[in-house]
Chains A and B, each alone.
Chain A
Amino acid sequence: MSSILMPVLEMAAPTLEWRALAPVLLVFAAACVGILLEAVLPRAYRFLGQMTLVFATALVSIGFLVINWRGQYGGRLAMGSIMLDGPTYFMWASLLVFGTLAFMVFSERQLNGGATTFAASAASVPGSLDEADATAARYEHTEVFPLGLFALGGMMVFLASSDLIVMFVALEVFSLPLYLLSGMARRRRLLSQEAALKYFLLGAFSSGFFLFGIAMLYVFSGSLDLAAIHTAIEGNAGSNGLVMIGLAFIAIGLLFKVGVVPFHSWTPDVYMGAPTPVTGFMAIATKLAAVGATMRVFYVALDGERWSWQPLFAVLAVLTMVVGIIGALTQSDIKRLLAYSSIAHAGFILVALVGATQTVAAGEGTSASAIMFYLAAYGFATIGAFALVTMVRNAAGEENNIDGWSGVAAKNPWVAGLMSLFMLSFAGIPLTGGFIGKWAVFTAAWRGGYGWLVIVAVLASLVAVYFYLRLIVVMFGRKEAKGVYVGNASAWTWIPVVVGAVATVWMGLVPDQVMQLATFAGGFLR
C-alpha cells in the first residue's frame, strides 16, 4: 500500500531565502489577499481597501529592497531559479516605483465624474442593457489592483530568473493580467476589447515561440539554467544549429514584449485601446521587464554566441528606429503617437544592447548601466505623459486626437508645460533625463564597437524630434480647440505627473546619483 504511494522521485522541500525574496513575495502575497478582499469586503469599502493594500505593499516592498540592497544580499536564490544581482536590484526598484505611480493613476475618480477609467462591468456586452444597468448602479472593478500586482510580481520574477522555465512562467504570469486590463476601458469598449484580443492572440503566439526556443536550448545543452547553457555553448566544438534556432525563437518571444520591429504591430492598437492608466503602466513596466530579461538571456546564457546575435540585433535596431519614427510621424491620435514613440525608444535601447560594452574599468558605464538609466528616465516621462493624457478631455471622455490638443497652453499652462517637458525628455533634449539616457546608450554602443549604429540612431532621433515638437507646437502655437477642456484631476493623477517631472529634471541636471547606482549595480551575474 505504502509502496504505491511512495513517490518515484525524492522531493526535497524547496528552500527559499525569505528575506532576500521579500520584495517579490510581498507583491504576490498582496495580490492574493487582494482577491480575497474582493470576496470579503462590502462594495463600499473595496476601493479603499484595495488601495490601502496596494500602496502599503509597495512601500514595504521598496523598504525591504533598499535594506537588502544596502546589506548586499544576493546571489542565486530559490534553488537556483532567481538571480538577485545588481541589475535585478536596480530594475526591481524601478518596477516598484513605476508600478506604484501607475497604480495611483488607476485610482483617479475625480476626472471622470466619480468613476474610474475602467468599465463598470467588463463582462457586459458593450451597448447592452446590462452595461447600462452596471453603470447606473456605479459598479466598479476593484480587481484591477490585484491584477496589476500580479503583473508587477510577474515582471519582477521575469527579469530576475536564471532558469528558462521560471522565466516562461513569469512571462505568462505578467502577461495574462495585462491582457485582461487592456480590455477593461470604460469608453470605446469595442476598441478596448479588440485591443485585448489582439494582444492576447499575438502574445500567446510569441509565448509559443519562446517556449520552442527554450526546448531547443534544452536539447542542445541539457539544461534550463542560464549559466549551464553558457557553459555548454563555450564548450561546444561541433555544430551550433540548435543554438541558432533556440536563440532566434527566444529572441522572438522576448522582443515581442519589448516591442521591436517586426514584432511591434500590437503596440499601437493595444496602447490606443487599453485604458490610458493601463497603457502608461504597460508602456514602461512591460518594456523594462522585457528589456531586463532580454539582457539577462543574451548577456548571461548566449554571450558566447555574441557574434551571431549582434549583427541580427543591429539590423533590428535600425528597423525599429526607422519604423517607429516613420509611424509616429503620421499619427493623429496621441496614444498611438506615444505607442510609436515607444517603438522608437525600443530601438534606441537595442542600440546599446548590441554595443554590449561589458568590460570597462571599474566605475565606468556599461551597456547594462546605460540601458537601466535610460529606462528609468524614459519611465518617469512615460508615466507622467500618460497621466497627462487622461486630463485633456471632451464631452465623451479623453480627447486623444492631437488636433483636440490645440491651444491647451492657453487653457492650462501647467498641463501644456509639463507635457512639453516630457516630450523634450522623449526627444532627448538636454536638461532632461532623456538626454542623459540617450547619450549614455550611444556612448555604450560606440564603446562596444558600433559607431555606425550610433550615427544611424542620431539621425533617427533628429527625425523623432519633429513629432515630439509637433505636439508642443500644437499646444502652444495653435488656436484653442472648441469643446475640449482640461479636467480637474485629483492628487492621484497629479502626484505621478509631478514626481515624473521632478525626476525628469533631476536626472537631467544632476544624474550622478542614479547613474552611480546603475553603474555600481554592475553586470549580470552568472
Chain B
Amino acid sequence: MTFPWLTFLGLLPLVGGVLLFLPMGRGAARTLGLVFSGVTLAVAIAVTALHVGGADLAVQVPWIRAFGAWWALDVDGMGLAMVLMTAVLTPIVLLAEWEPPAMRWSAQAFFALVLILEGLSLFVFMANDVLLFYLFFEATLIPTYFLIVGFGGVRRSYAAVKFLLFSLAGGLIMLASVVGVYVVGAAQGVPSYLVSDLAAVRFDGDLGRWLMLGFLIAFVVKAPMVPLHTWLPDAAEHSTPGTATLLVGVLDKIGTFGMIKLCLGLFPEASLWITPFMVWFAVISIIWGALGAIGSRNLMRLVAYTSVSHFGFMVLGIYAFTTASMTGSIFYMLNHGFSTAAMFLVVGFMAKRTGSYDIAAYGGVQKVAPVLAGVLLVSGLATLSLPGLAPFVSEFMVIAGTWTRYPVVTAVSIIGVVLAAVYILRMYQRTMTGPVTDETAARFTGRDLTGIEKAVMVPIIGVLLVLGFYPQPAVQLVEPTAKATLAYVGTTDPAPVVKGAK
C-alpha cells in the first residue's frame, strides 16, 4: 500500500493541535504551532506536486461497515485549491496573531484551536464520502465556536452562539438528507456513502429535490447568502481578525465547495430545477452585501459584508452552468481567501494600535503610517477586483460566463461591481486620507507596520499579484473540476452568438 498522503496531511495539524494542549512554555507553544502549520504547508505542496504529476492519491478504507461508510479521501483540482489555500493561510494567521489580545485564554489555546480547525477543514475538502464530509463539516464548528468565545470582542458569547445555531440548523437539516441519500441508495442496491458510488444512484422527482434542498440549505447558510447571512457580520465583528480570516476565508468556502461537489455532483436534475431561484438569490446577495458594506461603521462588519457580496458572485458562477463561469467561481473561491485575509488582517493591525474597529476612530493615517495605508489600499483594490490583482480575473470570468446564459441577471449583478468601488474607496478615504486626527497622530506616529506584520502581508499580496498577472496555472488546476461537473450535470456551453457576423 502506498503512503496515505492525504490522511497524513489532515492528521498533521490535528496532532499538532492536540499536542499544544499539553502544558509547555509560551514561546515553545507558539513555535511548535508554527512549525506544525509550516510542515503541513510543505506536505500540501508535495501533495499538489504529486497530483499534478498524475499520482493517484485516493485513500479508501472501510469505516462503518454496517452503514456503508468509508474513510475515503481524494482530491481534484477544486479540492486541491482549497487545501492549498487553507495550508497557506494557517501559518499566516498564526503569525498575524502572534500576540492575541490579552484575554483569559492563552495564546497557546489559540494556536491549538487554529491547528485543529485547519486539520478538520482539510479533511472536509478531501472527504470523498458523504458521511465523512458531514462529520468534519459539523466538527469544524466546535473549534470555531471556542475561537470566537475565547478570544473575541465584547459580545463574543452572543456572536458565537448565533454562529453555532445558524450553522447547526443548516447542518441538521443536511443530516436528514444525508440519511435520505443512504436510504434511497440502499433501495436501489447501492448501500454506500461513497460519492463515486452515489453518482450511479438516480435521485429523481420530488424526493431528489427535497434531499438536494437539505444539502443546499446547509451550504447557503455556510456560504452566507441573503437572507441567511446575518450571523456572519456578528461573528466577524466579535472575533479576532485571525479567526475571522479562517471563518470567512476557509470555512465559508465549504458552502460553495459543497454546492459543486454534492448538490451538483449528486443531484444534477434537482440542481437544474433550482437554478432560476439560485441565480436571483445570488444577485440579491451581491447587491445586499454591497449595500451592507456601504452602511457599515465597523471595519470588520464591512469586510464581512463584502464577502457576502463576493459569495454571491461565486454562487452565480456555479449556477450559470458554463465552463467559464464555474471555473471562475472556483478560482474566485481561492482568490477570495487571500483578498479577505488581507483585509481582515490589515484591519486587525490597525485595531491593534487604536483598540477600535470603528471607521470614525481613524483619519489621515496615511500621512503617519504610509506602509500600512499602502497595504490597506492594495488589499482594498483586490477586494474591489482591480485588474492586475487576482479577484479581477475570477470576477470577470464569472460575469463573462454568466452573460452567455443570463444577460439580464448579469447586467443587474454588475451593480455590485460598481458598489464595490464605493464601499472600498469610501472606507479608505475616511480612514486613511484627510487631516491627521489627534487620535491617529498619537496612536500611529512611529508605529507603522512591524517586521512580523510585513512578513504576514508580503505572501498574501504576493499571491494576489502573481495570480492577478499569471492566473493560468491556477485556472488549469481547477478547470477539470468545472468541466467534469458540467459534463455530469449534462449541460453544454451556449454557442457564442455574435450579431451581425453572419
Does A466 lie within 8 Å of B165, measured CB to CB? yes
Does B176 lie within 8 Å of A458, measured CB to CB? yes
Chain B's closest residue to A431 (CB) is B139
CB distance from B84 to the nearest CB of A (A): 25
Q: What is the total number of residues of chain A having a CB less than 8 Å from a CB of chain B?
A: 41
Point out which of A369, A440, A451 has the most chain B C-beta atoms below 10 A from its C-beta. A451
A291 to B167, CA, bound (A): 33
Q: Which of A429, A443, A519 contacts B182 (CB 8 A)?
A: A443
> How big is chain B's contact interface, by range?
35 or more
Question: Quick one: given A440-B67, A466-B165, are A364 and B191 in contact (CB under 8 Å)?
Answer: yes
Q: Is B76 an interface residue (CB 8 A)?
A: no
CB-contacts of A361-390 with B (<8 A): 361, 363-365, 369
Q: Is A442 an interface residue (CB 8 A)?
A: yes
**Contact flags B169-187 to A (C-beta < 8 A → 1, else 0):** 1001101101110110010
CB distance from B325 to the nearest CB of A (A): 33
A512 to B70, CA, bound (A): 10
Question: Quick one: given A435-B135, A455-B176, A476-B146, are A512 and B64 in contact (CB under 8 Å)?
Answer: yes
Q: Is B157 an interface residue (CB 8 A)?
A: yes
Does A424 lie within 8 Å of B142, measured CB to CB? yes
CB distance from A454 to the nearest CB of B (A): 6
CB distance from A159 to the nearest CB of B (A): 22
Chain A residues within 8 Å of B173, by CB = 458, 462
Q: Is B63 an interface residue (CB 8 A)?
A: yes
Chain B residues within 8 Å of A410, by CB = 104
Does A515 lie within 8 Å of B65, measured CB to CB? yes
Chain A's closest residue to B187 (CB) is A447
Chain A residues within 8 Å of B66, by CB = 363-365, 369, 440, 512, 515-516, 518-519
Point out which of B66, B134, B138 has the most chain A C-beta atoms below 10 A from its C-beta. B66
Q: Which of B134, B146, B157, B169 contacts A462 (CB 8 A)?
A: B169
Chain B residues within 8 Å of A360, by CB = 186
Chain B residues within 8 Å of A516, by CB = 65-66
A244 to B157, CA, bound (A): 53
Q: Which of B62, B135, B160, B176 contacts A430 (CB 8 A)?
A: B135
Chain A residues within 8 Å of B138, by CB = 429-430, 435
Chain A residues within 8 Å of B5, by CB = none
CB distance from A396 to the nearest CB of B (A): 28
A458 to B68, CA, bound (A): 21
Does B161 lie within 8 Å of A473, measured CB to CB? yes
Does B149 lie within 8 Å of A477, measured CB to CB? yes
Chain B residues within 8 Å of A465, by CB = 165, 168, 172
Q: Is A118 an interface residue (CB 8 A)?
A: no
A478 to B179, CA, bound (A): 37
A429 to B68, CA, bound (A): 20
Chain B's closest residue to A449 (CB) is B183
CB-contacts of A417-467 with B (<8 A): 424, 429-431, 435-436, 438-440, 442-443, 446-447, 451, 454-455, 458-459, 461-462, 465-466
A364 to B185, CA, bound (A): 13
Does B65 lie within 8 Å of A446, measured CB to CB? no
**Contact flags B58-85 to A (C-beta < 8 A → 1, else 0):** 0000111111100000000000000000
A439 to B131, CA, bound (A): 10
Chain A residues within 8 Å of B165, by CB = 465-466, 469
Does A436 lie within 8 Å of B64, measured CB to CB? yes
Q: Could you list 6 further interchain pairs (A-B, Cβ under 8 angstroms) beyond the known A424-B142, A447-B183? A: A443-B179, A446-B180, A462-B173, A476-B149, A512-B64, A515-B67
Residues of A within 8 A of B (CB): 360-361, 363-365, 369, 410, 424, 429-431, 435-436, 438-440, 442-443, 446-447, 451, 454-455, 458-459, 461-462, 465-466, 469, 473, 476-478, 510-512, 515-516, 518-519
- 17 A-B pairs within 8 Å (CB atoms) are namely A363-B65, A365-B66, A424-B142, A429-B138, A430-B137, A439-B67, A442-B176, A443-B182, A446-B183, A447-B186, A451-B183, A455-B176, A469-B161, A476-B146, A477-B157, A512-B66, A519-B66
Closest 10 CB pairs of A and B: A477-B157, A365-B66, A519-B66, A430-B138, A430-B135, A458-B176, A446-B183, A462-B172, A442-B179, A431-B139
